[in-house]
Structure 1
Amino acid sequence: MQKQVRIGVDIGGTFTDFVLEDGARQFSLKLLTTTDAPERAVIEGVREILAIAEVPATSVTAIVHGTTLATNAVIERKGAKVGFVTTEGFRDTLEMAYEHRYDQYDLLVDKPLPLVPRQLRFPVTERIGVDGRVLKPLDEAAVRAVGESLRNEGVEAVAIGFLQSFANHAHEERAADILREMLPGVPVSVSSDVSPEIREYERFTTVTANAYVQPLMSRYLGRLDTGLRDLGIAAPIYLIQSNGGLCDIATASRFPVRLLESGPAGGAIFAASLANELKIDKALLLDIGGTTAKLCFIDDGKPQTARGMEVARIDRFKPGSGLPLRFPVVELCEMGAGGGSIARIDRLGRLAVGPQSAGSTPGPACYGRGGSEATVTDAHLALGRLDPDRFAAGTVKLTRDKAERALSASVGDKMGLATDKAAVGVIEIANENMANAAREHAIEVGHGTAGRTLIAIGGAAALHAADLAAKLDMAAVVVPQSAGVGSAVGFLRAPVAFEKARSQHQILTRFDAKSALSVIDVLAADTAAEIANAAEHEAPRVSVSAQMRYRGQGHEITVPVDHERLGIEGATYLRTTFAASYDELYGRTIAGKDIEILAWTVRSELPIEAASSATSAEADASISEQSWEIVEQSGRTVTARVLDRTALGAEETTEGPLLVVDTGTTILVPTGFTARVIGAGHLILERSAAKGADA
């Protein structure tokens, strides 16, 4: 049997991470992201990691990739010029949105602008009823006239969104055929394919976002594919979707909107895999890179999921201030608190950190690449918590005096603080921002943080994890092996999968099982088709869920469904299953209320063989034990032992204060915490018994 040689690549805002697994060996690498041409760092990194592992390019069996390119294009409004074709009378749906303010007390609140301006939104006569009946036939002459206008406008992509197309897609498909004929080479997205669900505003924003990033992503994926082939790699390239499933390049090019937030989904897959390995029932993922921090609840070895997300928020931390997108995602709480987050004094004279980031260019002041503003990384370096010669495995040399000068200029001098006090303040604000975000997110999703295990991944998470765990009353912190490149490792643990939902309204008292099963069968066929070319495996595993609610409610919950039992027991089975899910979520049910189904979701999945037992095979770069002074969050200066991670023996317990230097991260073990190696080389941090009440 051929040995599996797979490479995971995660493009972040500051670093691009690489992991190569070759049977039981694992190699990792970090390079600064080349923001002007992201594929450049990818190709260079793949070349380097192949050389490190001494593996020929021809031996690679898969490349698994996640990127922020689509997300950044929407946020920065650098996507394609898109034309939108919609039902007559609904031209302004994208602009009207929900017709409410996300901040009800701000009368001058800014609203997110649609991705398609009004002059490029074209109405045509047609109408489908909610039951799928044709109420007005499609005016094909009007569609052809729109095609002429789109050609004259020079659009680069077209989105089509007709009312009720989730119930009958015939009009959308016919309009797409006409426009593809008239505009050869221009990609056309239809809402009944991209997001066939009720709520036309979300459906329209999703299909326009898909069209908006489609030309950009197609070009990028083409350049990436060519560059990797030029290296001699003939293996398939998989893309990680926002729901944690993998797809091939063809599917990614067709549904690029599903690649938004793909990188963080890999981190959640890694955390879930680790929770299963260590038998952790309740965990919270903390993923901190150079630009953002992400949180995700992990229960029973599965990450929290949702049926949509928002992108390009006007106010990054206020729901409703961005563009809603409707497709399955891993549910993450994201905040601007990465290593590159910029510290400043705001207009009220308060110390603030983020969400602005120095990124990779110019980067934090200590990078010596022209950055002058103080960042979280500068603060850690000034407090002695980073080894300037071994940051990012030595690929970036840090300069402490530049960090201290930036901290003094940006914070210390303005607040009358010594440099070390300013640095402690920067880290404390960042920690409080993350702790508050975790508390709010916990309330939103009906969870708590107390007693959970914090799983820390990403280049910066292990510097904050112990202090954050103490703030959130968490039981322990696990810093897994390869934590610094955790999302890239997660890519190699992800299955090939595709998930799709379709709206179908039914009331349980009049439930039609045959009609429901027909929709499920179509979705199963559609999702299986999307993964058919991704891998040669047996028939996919199919899972089904229903979106259900009590009649009169405004929102629904996701209810796992055994579709075989559905066909036999019908409404009785659905009523019982819904009640159990509702009770688990809210702690009660509502007697005497009828129940309705709004949509069905089907996921087809093909597991990829993962070398879950792979351990780091990096050359032993261990250094002799050292010690130097660091400043802890209490403000005390203490002498910390500085160890290479390879120097820690299995089950060996070491008391803080301690700095553990790893290939892609540095682990801070403060006074009152212990560190112990468990499992396959993972590190667990726990509050020691002597910590007492001042923990």
Structure 2
Amino acid sequence: MAISVNRVGVDIGGTFTDVALAHEGGLSTCKILTNYAQPEQAILDGIGIAAEKAGIALADIGQVIHGTTLVTNALIERRGAKLAFITTEGFRDVIEMRSENRFEQYDLNLTLPMPLVAREHRFTLNERMGPNGEVLLPLDSAEVQRLVQTVLDGGYEAVAVGLMHSYANDAHEVKVAEALRAAAPDLSISISSVISPQMRELPRFNTVIANAYVQPQVADYLGRLVAGLQEAGVTAPVFMLHSGGGLISVESAVEQPVRLLESGPAGGAIFAADFARGHGLDNVLSFDMGGTTAKICLIEGAEPKTANTFEVARTYRFKKGSGMTVSTPVVEMVEIGAGGGSIASIDSLGRIQVGPRSAASEPGPACYGRGGTEPTVTDANLLLGRLDPDNFAGGAIPLYAEASDKAVAEKLSAHLGSGVSEAAFGVTEMVDENMANAARVHAVENGRDIEHFTMIGFGGGAPLHACRLCEKLGIRELIIPPGAGVGSAIGFLKAPFSYEATRGLFQRLDTFDAAAVNTALAELEAEATEFVSAGAKGEATTTRLTAFMRYSGQGWEIPVPLPYRPFTDADRTEILAAFESAYRRLFGRVIDGLGVEVTNWSLVVASVLPDTTPVVRHGSGTPVTPARSRTFYDAALRRTVEAREVERSAMTPGCSVDGPAVIVENETTTIVTSAYRAVGQGDNSLRLIRKGDL
């Protein structure tokens, strides 16, 4: 992908808005508190600060790339449009009945997520398509017109249409949408055959409903953002990072906002994957810890692990199965409520608990001095000496240790009967153990041994905690990239233009119909290419094909990468071999005597990334002279240690510092525990190596 100068990436998080501006002179970054009332204002302010640092005019910015949590927050907080849902007669309650899975088997008071659309706002049509696209019951035009009038009378702001088997034949959904648009041209309308044309009505219905629910709000927000940028003098085109890790135009994002669900975290995974390529690392654990959450992702072969479903708005936060499953391409990661702003409390058994509630940016941790009274992870790190109160965020945000002390003493120590330092240590150790457990489970679920991975840590909080996490997980090597504090925003600048098109096309492999598959794949390629060409004008592209397959009788599929080319009926042997290889890799063995089925197809068209220059890696180096010494609490040693403090700028390639050490920079602080040594690398990243493995 051709990289133009003066490109800016902006990531709005729950606590901070991060900005990274790439220009001829290098990279200018800044980190400011998120403005909840006007999130676009934080973007404008941040871009202005970064441009001033870079010494360039706003008019000289050539491209703006944005990731946002707006869609996720709107679904969680139920701040969407007044919505009507139209479906096939008999399937009105699918989204409320959900699936047979019970995520807490013995909880008699189990709370399930409420549907986004209440029952009185769900309407049905007496029509039916078959699974092969055959019309079983024709659509009645008069019934459609009556339903359109009902929608108009109801004052709805958006309509979602999800009819049975529309992935196989969209004719009925298209006719309903045309009738609605003819009667109400300004109405937001989403149809499942466009938003999620895949098998399984529950995730397909959920996805089209989620898309319609947030569409008016996203359109309004992005319209304000583009207008604000232009008014400020930024006339550059704006692109959005979608949850699958690629760039799409603002217009595409407005049409399919559900693709923005995990756009910010996806940028972090891209950031980590880029450094994995440079360092020649095949097995990487991406660890992104910000102010509100921590995200952990497996990266193998320099590619983040992806999935075609995602769970949002969980009633039991971070508990798998308690949310609303949507089918949209997403970088697969585990996310837990463990950020710098995560609030610590005492539970009914007298134990310290951390998260999932967060102090966010308003009011923020107690030490911010903005009215917060709850103890947070940031407060605990400050009390343990891991943060400098006079040099947090480059001195832009002063920290008040006395406020942290008061919050921990009143909310924790008074109930534990311990000192403030012991309570603060309990907070950090609990949050570190929560993150370590999440990483272990994520690795086990994917059949991986986490000890053989290298961790790449970024986000404002990760460099503070990553070394301790490595100790808990038995990981010998940790990379802290330059600009780690704004890693996701930098990741936006490294993302390709890409689009993933999907299609449900059920076939048994023993009756594989190559002609039908080739026709569907050609349509998918045309769809994806149209979206990608809006941004990647004239750039080389690559195509990636995945079939979702299973044994007959199984309830779920696995992704199977396949070469993209025209298929023949004889290719069923190659497809079977690819399926068995993928199945064996996940489960250790294949099952003999069972038929194999293909349910869905996925085709990704993406612009080609430039080659990554291999990094000169240093395993040891010349000890750097510390700027001064300070103390911090080393969790593994269970005591306060005298540590060297080093400026990040002093950690040039080949320079080293043995732990215990603190490496400081504007956006974050890296804690090097006593068991590790930090060595500057050829790309200006820090490589922390366990001393016993040197």
TM-score by length of 2: 0.96
Supply the distance in 2 between the matched residues of 1:434 and 1:249 (Cα, whole angstroms): 34
**2:640 equivalent in structure 1:** 637
**2:454 equivalent in structure 1:** 453
1:664 to 667, 691, 694: 667
Q: Does the 8 Å CA contact 2:446/2:586 hold for their aligned counterparts? A: no
* Corresponding position: 1:276 with 2:290: no
Residues 574, 610 of structure 1: alpha-carbon distance in 2 compared, 3 angstrom cutoff: closer
**1:330 equivalent in structure 2:** 331
One-letter code aligned to 1:664: E
**1:548 equivalent in structure 2:** 549
Q: How far off its partner does 1:624 sit?
A: 7.9
* Corresponding position: 1:45 with 2:46: yes
Supply the distance in 2 between the matched residues of 1:34 and 1:611 (Cα, whole angstroms): 36
Could you report, residue by residue, the CA deviation over 1:629-653 in whole angstroms, capped at 9, with x for unpaired residues? 2222133122212121012232122
Question: Matches of residues 230-249 of structure 1 in structure 2 within 5 Å?
Answer: 230-249=231-250
2:654 to 651, 663, 666: 651
Q: How far off its partner does 1:228 sit?
A: 0.8
* Corresponding position: 1:353 with 2:354: yes
Q: Does the 8 Å CA contact 2:35/2:41 hold for their aligned counterparts? A: yes
Moved more, 578-587 or 105-114: 578-587
One-letter code aligned to 1:104: Q
Supply the distance in 2 between the matched residues of 1:613 and 1:447 (Cα, whole angstroms): 26
One-letter code aligned to 2:47: V
SS at 2:470 equivalent: helix
Supply the distance in 2 between the matched residues of 1:531 and 1:301 (Cα, whole angstroms): 22
SS at 2:99 equivalent: coil
**1:627 equivalent in structure 2:** 629
Could you report, residue by residue, the CA deviation over 1:425-451 in whole angstroms, capped at 9, with x for unpaired residues? 000000111111111111222222112
Residues 381, 592 of structure 1: alpha-carbon distance in 2 compared, 3 angstrom cutoff: same
One-letter code aligned to 1:594: G
Supply the distance in 2 between the matched residues of 1:101 and 1:236 (Cα, whole angstroms): 46
Residues 2, 581 of structure 1: alpha-carbon distance in 2 compared, 3 angstrom cutoff: closer
Supply the distance in 1 between the matched residues of 2:511 and 2:494 (Cα, whole angstroms): 43
Q: Percent identity?
A: 45
2:679 to 671, 676, 681: 676
Q: How far off its partner does 1:106 sit?
A: 1.2
Q: Does the 8 Å CA contact 2:15/2:360 hold for their aligned counterparts? A: yes
Stretches of structure 1 lacking an aligned partner (at least 5 in a row) = 615-621
Supply the distance in 1 between the matched residues of 2:364 and 2:82 (Cα, whole angstroms): 31
Supply the distance in 1 between the matched residues of 2:614 and 2:388 (Cα, whole angstroms): 29
Q: Does the 8 Å CA contact 2:129/2:135 hold for their aligned counterparts? A: yes
Q: Does the 8 Å CA contact 1:566/1:573 hold for their aligned counterparts? A: no
**2:322 equivalent in structure 1:** 321
One-letter code aligned to 2:634: E
| Runs of at least 4 residues off by over 3 Å | 607-614
SS at 2:451 equivalent: coil
Supply the distance in 2 between the matched residues of 1:12 and 1:2 (Cα, whole angstroms): 25
Q: CA RMSD in A?
A: 1.9
**1:483 equivalent in structure 2:** 484
Could you report, residue by residue, the CA deviation over 1:112-150 in whole angstroms, capped at 9, with x for unpaired residues? 001011111011111001110111111222222222222
**1:619 equivalent in structure 2:** none
Q: Does the 8 Å CA contact 1:453/1:474 hold for their aligned counterparts? A: yes
Residues 425, 468 of structure 1: alpha-carbon distance in 2 compared, 3 angstrom cutoff: same
Supply the distance in 2 between the matched residues of 1:591 and 1:299 (Cα, whole angstroms): 29
Aligned positions, number: 684
Moved more, 563-572 or 398-407: 563-572
**2:174 equivalent in structure 1:** 173
One-letter code aligned to 2:633: V
Supply the distance in 1 between the matched residues of 2:216 and 2:431 (Cα, whole angstroms): 37
Supply the distance in 1 between the matched residues of 2:298 and 2:335 (Cα, whole angstroms): 12
Moved more, 421-430 or 181-190: 181-190
**1:420 equivalent in structure 2:** 421
SS at 1:638 equivalent: strand
SS at 2:325 equivalent: strand
* Corresponding position: 1:403 with 2:394: no
One-letter code aligned to 1:115: L
Supply the distance in 2 between the matched residues of 1:107 and 1:165 (Cα, whole angstroms): 37
SS at 2:10 equivalent: strand
**1:228 equivalent in structure 2:** 229
Question: Matches of residues 66-215 of structure 1 in structure 2 within 5 Å?
Answer: 66-215=67-216
Residues 146, 557 of structure 1: alpha-carbon distance in 2 compared, 3 angstrom cutoff: same
Q: Does the 8 Å CA contact 2:314/2:323 hold for their aligned counterparts? A: yes
Supply the distance in 2 between the matched residues of 1:511 and 1:671 (Cα, whole angstroms): 59
Moved more, 19-28 or 336-345: 19-28
Q: Does the 8 Å CA contact 2:278/2:612 hold for their aligned counterparts? A: no
Q: Does the 8 Å CA contact 1:86/1:121 hold for their aligned counterparts? A: yes
Q: How far off its partner does 1:413 sit?
A: 1.3
Residues 130, 375 of structure 1: alpha-carbon distance in 2 compared, 3 angstrom cutoff: same
Q: How far off its partner does 1:19 sit?
A: 0.4
**2:621 equivalent in structure 1:** none
Supply the distance in 1 between the matched residues of 2:77 and 2:625 (Cα, whole angstroms): 43
Question: Matches of residues 598-613 of structure 1 in structure 2 within 5 Å?
Answer: 598-607=599-608
SS at 1:564 equivalent: coil
Residues 282, 135 of structure 1: alpha-carbon distance in 2 compared, 3 angstrom cutoff: same
Q: Does the 8 Å CA contact 1:661/1:667 hold for their aligned counterparts? A: yes
Residues 590, 460 of structure 1: alpha-carbon distance in 2 compared, 3 angstrom cutoff: same
Residues 15, 541 of structure 1: alpha-carbon distance in 2 compared, 3 angstrom cutoff: same
Stretches of structure 2 lacking an aligned partner (at least 5 in a row) = 616-623
**2:620 equivalent in structure 1:** none
Supply the distance in 1 between the matched residues of 2:682 and 2:411 (Cα, whole angstroms): 43
Supply the distance in 1 between the matched residues of 2:456 and 2:426 (Cα, whole angstroms): 24
One-letter code aligned to 1:635: R
Q: Does the 8 Å CA contact 2:500/2:528 hold for their aligned counterparts? A: yes
Supply the distance in 2 between the matched residues of 1:64 and 1:469 (Cα, whole angstroms): 32
Q: How far off its partner does 1:609 sit?
A: 6.3
**1:374 equivalent in structure 2:** 375
Q: How far off its partner does 1:24 sit?
A: 5.5
Q: How far off its partner does 1:539 sit?
A: 5.6
Q: Does the 8 Å CA contact 1:129/1:164 hold for their aligned counterparts? A: yes
One-letter code aligned to 1:636: R
Q: Does the 8 Å CA contact 2:512/2:569 hold for their aligned counterparts? A: no
Supply the distance in 2 between the matched residues of 1:183 and 1:457 (Cα, whole angstroms): 47
2:692 to 671, 685, 689: 689
Q: Does the 8 Å CA contact 1:669/1:675 hold for their aligned counterparts? A: yes
One-letter code aligned to 1:642: E
Residues 451, 682 of structure 1: alpha-carbon distance in 2 compared, 3 angstrom cutoff: same
SS at 1:566 equivalent: coil
One-letter code aligned to 1:498: Y
Supply the distance in 1 between the matched residues of 2:611 and 2:170 (Cα, whole angstroms): 39
One-letter code aligned to 2:596: I
**1:618 equivalent in structure 2:** none
